[in-house]
Structure 1
Amino acid sequence: MLSRLRGNPWVRLALFLVVCACAGLALRANWEQARDAVASLPLWVLPAAVLAGMAGLTAQMLAWRALLAGMGSPLPYRVAARVMFVGQLGKYLPGSVWAFVAQVELARDWRVPRSRGAAATLLAVAVTVAVSLAVAAVALPLSSAGAARRWWWALALAPLLLAALHPRVLGWGIRLAARPFARFREVAGAGPLDVRGRAVAASVGWTLVAWVPLGLHVWLLTWAVGGEALRSLGPAAGGYALAWTLGLLVVFAPAGLGVREAVLVVALSPVLDAGAALVVAVLSRLVMTAADVGWAGLSVLLSGRTARPPESVDAPPA
């Protein structure tokens, strides 16, 4: 009964509309908070920041797709974009778990077993956390000592988490976590949950690439509100990497609401006063919400004609 309900197109449409409404409300709330600040910016800054944010999200999608392909379920680029970007709108609901559930369910429409989709998504989170903390650990001690001192414990985890990305360690962790569900995995036809070293390396590489445009969007905003161009590079990139990571780990806050802003204000303190740093944090929230909504809409349009889900992985044989 539950499986039929999940597969009902009307139920899915209703859930999609609810998620879109929540994302729209978040976009409106962020706009109302940032409207006065936007009026004082050069006209090109906000669109450039949104494009940079979308570029960063693209690289993150490719990192997740590489892991999924390395586990035996390669998806076409347009399909992978639709699955990830539409699913990620679930993070605007209270509790980040909804984005995870939506992504797994959407991937299942394309013959990706739930166990494999869940494993790939969890691995993508692990790669994001490890690489983001490494970026912050490199950038913040030299550019924002206050942030480095306050969150030293998170930065200290970076080398340990990077070491844990070794394929043997990841494989052991996946098998250990999946052991209680082995019977269900066999029924679903998922097979063993292994990840190739090349896929992990590709995911790490794409995640590193993502932090170039993601850091760029914060740097643009910081510069636009009065920060010195060169001095702002380290606090912007490192501060946002740490803010993103801690916001991701606080699962009860929708899209890390409040956490990112608090971290960014501290990280940007060497180049901006508290008021201007808060403006950057609010503008960044607006930019990334627009990037999320924009990519979700584009992915639906781009895959509209070609993205016809095949027979479900759990469907009985004919």
Structure 2
Amino acid sequence: MLTRLRRNMWVRLSLLALVCACAGAALYANWTQARGAVSGLPLWVLPAAALAGMAGLAAQMLAWRSLLAGLGSALPRAAAARVMFVGQLGKYLPGSVWAFVAQVELARDWRVPRSRGAAATLSAIAVTVAVSLAVAAVALPLSSVEAARRWWWALAAAPLLLACLHPRVLGRGVRLAARPFSRFREVAEAGPLRVEGGSVAASVGWTLVAWVPLGLHVWLLTWAVGGDALRSVGPAVGAYALAWVLGLLVVFAPAGLGVREAVLVVALAPVVDAGAALVVAVLSRLVMTVADVGWAGSAVLLTRAPGSGGGGGPEHADGAASDPATGPG
């Protein structure tokens, strides 16, 4: 029954329309809040920040793709982009779980078993949280003492979480999470879930790379509202890394709404006043919403889901996408 609903074009279109409406509403609300501040910025700042945000999201997509490949489903880059970026629009619905569900279901179009899709997404969340907290733990104590003092418990967890990324530990956690679903035929057919050390290392590497442009977009905005160019680097990178994690963990807030802003205002206090920090927070949310929508739209326009030409489902997928294991790197 659920499989038939998943393949039904009208159900998919209705869900996509709902998600796009929520993302559009978020974009409109962010623009309404940021419109007054935009007029005082150099014209190039927001486009540059949006491009930096998109570059960071692209690196995060490659981190997720590396984990999925290590689990046995190596998607082509274009297919991985479509699955992740379209699925990520689900975070604009109340409850971040919808992005998770959407990614797993969209990956089924490329014959990725739900068990592998879920394992890759859960592992990617673990990598993102651990690496991002490590970035914040390095940057904030030296640049934003108040933020480090207020959220010390999160920063202190970074070494432990990094240790949990060892393939044996991460693999055991993934298999434990999948155990309640082991009775389903699809899980059994997918085989045992084994997390490879190389895929974890690649994912960690791509996540570290992602924080260069992600931090850059906040630094550009902080500089544009009056922050010192050199002194703003540490607070900008550390603040957004911590804000990203805490926003991700508060699952009832759509895309971390409110949580990221609170962290940014406190962490940017050493370089800009509270009003300017709030402007940075609002502009950052606008920029990252544009980046999310831009990537999702590009992925839909530039790629075609298997079976969209009339096949009707993953069983009729053609070309490289029909066999993820042999798809192009």
Task: Describe the shift of the 1:6–1:123 C-alpha distance in structure 2 as closer, same or farther (beyond 3 A).
Answer: same
The answer for the alignment partner of 1:87 in structure 2 is: 87
- Give the TM-score of the pair, scaled to structure 1: 0.96
SS of 1:183's equivalent in the other structure is coil
Which residue identity is paired with 2:201? A
* Gaps in structure 1 of 5+ consecutive residues: 314-318
The answer for the alignment partner of 1:120 in structure 2 is: 120
Which residue identity is paired with 2:81? A
The answer for the alignment partner of 2:177 in structure 1 is: 177
The answer for the alignment partner of 1:19 in structure 2 is: 19
SS of 2:183's equivalent in the other structure is helix
Deviations 1:10-57 (A, max 9, x none): 100110011001000000000000001011000000000000000000
Deviations 1:51-93 (A, max 9, x none): 0000000000000000000000000100000000000000000
The answer to whether the Cα contact below 8 Å between 1:108 and 1:312 also exists between their aligned partners in 2 is no
Task: Describe the shift of the 1:87–1:281 C-alpha distance in structure 2 as closer, same or farther (beyond 3 A).
Answer: same
The answer for the alignment partner of 1:38 in structure 2 is: 38
Matched, 1:311 2:315: yes
The answer to whether the Cα contact below 8 Å between 2:182 and 2:188 also exists between their aligned partners in 1 is no
> C-alpha displacement at 1:7, in angstroms?
1.5
CA distance in structure 1 between the partners assigned to 2:156 and 2:187 by the alignment: 41
Which residue identity is paired with 2:243? A
The answer to whether the Cα contact below 8 Å between 1:144 and 1:235 also exists between their aligned partners in 2 is yes
Deviations 1:78-129 (A, max 9, x none): 0000000000000000000000000000001111111110010000000000
The answer to whether the Cα contact below 8 Å between 2:56 and 2:213 also exists between their aligned partners in 1 is yes
> C-alpha displacement at 1:295, in angstroms?
0.3
CA distance in structure 1 between the partners assigned to 2:193 and 2:280 by the alignment: 42
Q: Give the total of aligned pairs.
A: 313
> C-alpha displacement at 1:304, in angstroms?
3.2
CA distance in structure 1 between the partners assigned to 2:305 and 2:118 by the alignment: 27
The answer for the alignment partner of 2:273 in structure 1 is: 273
The answer to whether the Cα contact below 8 Å between 1:115 and 1:185 also exists between their aligned partners in 2 is no
Matched, 1:200 2:200: yes
The answer for the alignment partner of 1:155 in structure 2 is: 155
Deviations 1:152-191 (A, max 9, x none): 0000000000000000111111222222222215566211
Which residue identity is paired with 1:75? L
The answer for the alignment partner of 1:289 in structure 2 is: 289
The answer to whether the Cα contact below 8 Å between 2:94 and 2:252 also exists between their aligned partners in 1 is yes
CA distance in structure 2 between the partners assigned to 1:232 and 1:37 by the alignment: 19
The answer to whether the Cα contact below 8 Å between 1:96 and 1:255 also exists between their aligned partners in 2 is yes
> C-alpha displacement at 1:197, in angstroms?
0.2
The answer to whether the Cα contact below 8 Å between 1:113 and 1:188 also exists between their aligned partners in 2 is no
Report the identity percentage: 83
The answer for the alignment partner of 2:322 in structure 1 is: none
Which residue identity is paired with 1:116? R
Which residue identity is paired with 1:205? G
The answer for the alignment partner of 1:245 in structure 2 is: 245
The answer to whether the Cα contact below 8 Å between 2:59 and 2:209 also exists between their aligned partners in 1 is yes
Which residue identity is paired with 1:218? V
Matched, 1:100 2:100: yes
Which residue identity is paired with 2:153? W
* Gaps in structure 2 of 5+ consecutive residues: 318-329
SS of 1:105's equivalent in the other structure is helix
Task: Describe the shift of the 1:312–1:255 C-alpha distance in structure 2 as closer, same or farther (beyond 3 A).
Answer: farther
The answer to whether the Cα contact below 8 Å between 1:215 and 1:236 also exists between their aligned partners in 2 is yes
The answer to whether the Cα contact below 8 Å between 2:144 and 2:235 also exists between their aligned partners in 1 is yes
Matched, 1:144 2:168: no
- Give the TM-score of the pair, scaled to structure 2: 0.93
SS of 2:182's equivalent in the other structure is helix
The answer for the alignment partner of 1:316 in structure 2 is: none
Stretch moving more, 14-23 or 187-196: 187-196
Which residue identity is paired with 2:54? M
